[in-house]
């Protein structure tokens, strides 16, 4: 049996539909002595075709409006993603 390596080149196919790039995450976090549910939106900092070098536009916007990233706060970064809490995400979308 003969095996061949088939590679799809950009000219071999057309993109019909893009997969959504954001994910909504529900997380239970401790606030004082209580636990509350919070929604976070996970957004990749890279595009479909390339990795963003340096700060992305979203990261610059977050630093300008909310300061430095802090885990489970308004915004933070985790391995290739920027994660915004729901209020920060709505603010960002309204400013677009």
Report pLDDT digits (tens) over 17-45. 555 578 899 999 888 899 999 999 999 88
Q: Which residue has the tokens 């489970």?
A: 72
Residue where the block lists tokens 């979308």: 93
The tens digit of pLDDT for each residue in 46-66 reads 654 455 466 788 999 999 999
Copy the structure tokens of residue 73. 């706060």
DSSP for 36-90, written as a single string: EEEEEEEEESS-SS-PPPS--HHHHHHHHHH-S--TTSSEEEETTEEEEEHHHHH
For 83, other C-beta atoms within 10 Å of its C-beta total: 22
And the tokens for 77? 């970064």
Could you tell me the residue ranges of all domains in the chain? Answer: 20-95
């Amino acid at each position: 049996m003969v095996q061949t390596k088939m590679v799809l080149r950009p000219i071999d196919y057309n993109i019909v539909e893009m997969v959504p790039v954001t994910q909504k995450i529900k997380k239970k976090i401790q606030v004082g002595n209580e636990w509350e549910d919070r929604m976070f939106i996970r957004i990749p900092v890279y595009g479909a075709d390339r990795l963003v070098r340096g700060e992305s536009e979203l990261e610059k916007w977050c630093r300008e409006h909310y300061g430095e990233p802090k885990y489970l706060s308004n915004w933070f970064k985790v391995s290739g993603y920027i994660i915004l809490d729901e209020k920060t995400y709505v603010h960002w979308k309204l400013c677009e």
